Structure 1
Amino acid sequence: MLFNLFKKKEKKPEIDFSSIKTDIHSHLIPGIDDGAATMDESIILIQRMMDFGFKKIVTTPHIMADYYRNTSDIILRGLDAVREELHQRNIAVEFDAAAEYYLDETFENKLEKGDILTLGGKYVLFELSFVNYPKNLFEVIEKIQDKGYTPILAHPERYPYLGGEIENYQQIKESGCYLQLNILSLAGYYGKPAQKIAESLAENYLIDFIGSDLHRSKHADGLYQSLTTPYVHKLLTDYQLQNELI
C-alpha cells in the first residue's frame, strides 16, 4: 500500500490531435493485414482515436506482393463493412481508406494500370524495405508524379540506410516526395536511432504529415503518451503540417 501512495503520477497530456484533424496512416480494416484482427478491435481503436481528438481517419492497409496481397476491391469492401458497423453503433466519425503500398513490382504494375487508392484523391502513400535501399526510388517517385499523383513516403525515419545524413531526406523532398513521420517514433517506440532521426527531421522542418500507423491497442497507448513529449507538442502547436488537407 505504501508503494502506491508514493507512486509517481502519470503525466496527462495538455493537448490532443484536434489541431491536425486527420490521421492518414493506420491499419484498421479487420483481418486483412497485420492491424486490427476483428471488427470489435477495429471499432475500439477508432473510438480511441476519436478520444485523442481525430475527426477523420484514413486507414491504409498494406499492399505487399509477398505478404499482404490486398486489392483495391478487398480494401473497399472492408471499408464498407467498418462504416456499416460504425453506423450500427451510432459512432459518428469520418472514416475512409487508401493503402500503404510497398515499393515492389506489383506496385509499379498497379500504378501503370491506374489501380491506386489515394489519400484525398491526390496522394499516394508508399513504404520501402527496412533492409535494402531501393535503387529505383527516384524513378518510382517520378512515375507516381507522371500519373498525376503526389507521393508520400511513409515513416522515413525507420529506414536505417537513410539515417546517416539529413541530406538523404532533403534529396527525397526535393524530388517532390512528401514525408510522413510516425508519431510513435518521437516517443522512442521504434528505438533510439529512429527517435533521433525523427527529431532531426522535425528540427529541420522536413515533415509534411504525421501519422499514427495504428495497428493495435499498445500503439494507441503510445499515442496517448506521445502527447506529453516536447517534439510532438511542437508539431501540433508550432508546425505547418498538411494532414487536414486530406
Structure 2
Amino acid sequence: MNGKIDYMLSIFSRSKYLVDLIEGMPDFHNHTLPGIDDGSDSIDTSRELFKGYSEIGIDHIVATPHIIGEFYPNTSKSIGEAFKKVKEAKAGPKNFSFAAEYMMDQHFLEILANDDVLTVTDNKVLVEMSYFQAPINLTQILFKLQNSSKAPILAHPERYTYMHSKDLSKYHDLKTRGCLMQVNMLSLSNHYGKSIQKMAYQLIEEGLIDYICSDVHKISHLEKIKEIKIPTKYVQNITTISANNGELLRQHFN
C-alpha cells in the first residue's frame, strides 16, 4: 500500500506551477502603461492587468514600454506621462515604477549619446533585438553601453532563433560582453513554439539566464502564465532566477 502511495506522490510531484515559484517576485518587463505601445490600450485595461498580476502574487512592477524608432517613438517624457495617468487613476499597484525596453538600433545610440536612458534600476537597461537578425553594429552598441556605465539586460534571448545552436556560442559571447539575460515566462510553455521553449530551458540549464519576467501585453498572457508547469529538474533553477529579480530591485521599492 505504501509503495502505491509513494508512486502516486511521485507522479504528482514531477512538476510545479510557475506561479508558485515566482510569488512575490518583482516583474520588470511588461507592457502595462496605456496607449503608448502594443500593450495596454487604456487605463481600464491597465487596471485589469494589474489585478491579474496581483492574482499570481506579483505586486512590484516596473512598466517597460517599447522604444523602437518610428514604430514606438516613446521618450522618457511620454512614458512618464503615461505612468502619471495610471497613478492619478489609482490603477496601479503600490509598488510601481517605469523604465523602457529599448530596441538596440541607431536610434538607441542617439538616446545613449543624449544620456536620456530609463534604467530598470541603478545602471541596468532592458534591451531587445530584432527577431529577424542581430544589429549589424551590436558590438558597437554594447561598447557604448559599457562606456556609459550601463549594463544591458537582454530581453527574451530564447526568442532570437538566429542565435540558436547546440553549443550556445553566440549566447556565451554576449555574456562575455557584459550582457545579462532575461527569459520570458511564456517561453517556458509552447506559447511561442516548441523550439523557443526548448531553447529557454537549455539556456536556464546552462546557467545563462539571470532574470525571469512576464513580458505581458494582454490579460490572456497572464491567464496562460497561470497554467505553466515547470518540470522538477528546473524548479531550483527557476527559484534561484526569480530570487535574482528580488535582489535586483530590493532597494528600488524600499
TM class by shorter chain equals 0.7 to 0.9
Structural mapping, 1:29-48, within 5 Å: 29-48=33-52
Counterpart amino acid of 1:113? N
Counterpart amino acid of 1:104? D
Structure 1 residue 50, shift from structure 2 partner? 1.6
Alignment CA distance shift 1:68-1:238 (3 Å): closer
Counterpart amino acid of 1:157? E
Which of residues 67, 70, 74 is equivalent to 1:66? 70
**Partner of 1:180: helix, strand, or coil?**
strand
Give the root-mean-square deviation of aligned CA atoms.
2.0
Counterpart amino acid of 1:169? Y
**Number of aligned residues:** 231
Structure 1 residue 225, shift from structure 2 partner? 1.2
User: After the TM superposition, which parts of structure 1 deviate over 6 Å for at least 4 consecutive aligned residues?
Assistant: none
Aligned to 2:239: 237
Q: Can you list the C-alpha shifts for 1:119-140, whole angstroms capped at 9, x where unaligned?
A: 0132111110110222221221
Measured in 2, the distance between the counterparts of 1:84 and 1:98 equals 18
Aligned to 1:53: 57
Measured in 1, the distance between the counterparts of 2:104 and 2:240 equals 32
Q: Can you list the C-alpha shifts for 1:17-62, whole angstroms capped at 9, x where unaligned?
A: 225x210100011111000111111011111112211131011000
Aligned to 2:8: none
Aligned to 2:86: 82
Counterpart amino acid of 2:88? E
Structure 1 residue 71, shift from structure 2 partner? 0.9
**Partner of 1:101: helix, strand, or coil?**
strand
Structure 1 residue 66, shift from structure 2 partner? 2.7
Residue 174 of structure 1 pairs with residue 179 of structure 2? no
User: Is the 2:212–2:241 contact (alpha carbons within 8 Å) kept by the matching residues of 1?
Assistant: no
Structure 1 residue 238, shift from structure 2 partner? 4.4
Q: Can you list the C-alpha shifts for 1:142-193, whole angstroms capped at 9, x where unaligned?
A: 2111111111111111011101241111111111110011110011111011
Aligned to 1:96: 97
User: Is the 1:151–1:178 contact (alpha carbons within 8 Å) kept by the matching residues of 2?
Assistant: yes
Q: List gaps (5 residues or longer) in structure 1.
A: 1-10
Aligned to 1:130: 131
**Partner of 1:179: helix, strand, or coil?**
strand
Q: Can you list the C-alpha shifts for 1:88-115, whole angstroms capped at 9, x where unaligned?
A: x6x6531111000111111100001101
Alignment CA distance shift 1:233-1:50 (3 Å): farther
Structural mapping, 1:121-160, within 5 Å: 121-160=122-161
Structure 1 residue 240, shift from structure 2 partner? 7.0
Alignment TM-score, normalising by the size of structure 2 = 0.85
Alignment TM-score, normalising by the size of structure 1 = 0.88
Measured in 2, the distance between the counterparts of 1:213 and 1:187 equals 14
Measured in 2, the distance between the counterparts of 1:137 and 1:234 equals 33
Structure 1 residue 69, shift from structure 2 partner? 0.8
Aligned to 1:8: none
Alignment CA distance shift 1:232-1:101 (3 Å): farther
Alignment CA distance shift 1:12-1:242 (3 Å): closer
Measured in 1, the distance between the counterparts of 2:84 and 2:97 equals 9
Measured in 2, the distance between the counterparts of 1:229 and 1:188 equals 12
**Partner of 2:38: helix, strand, or coil?**
coil
Counterpart amino acid of 1:200? Q
Aligned to 1:108: 109
Measured in 1, the distance between the counterparts of 2:83 and 2:187 equals 27
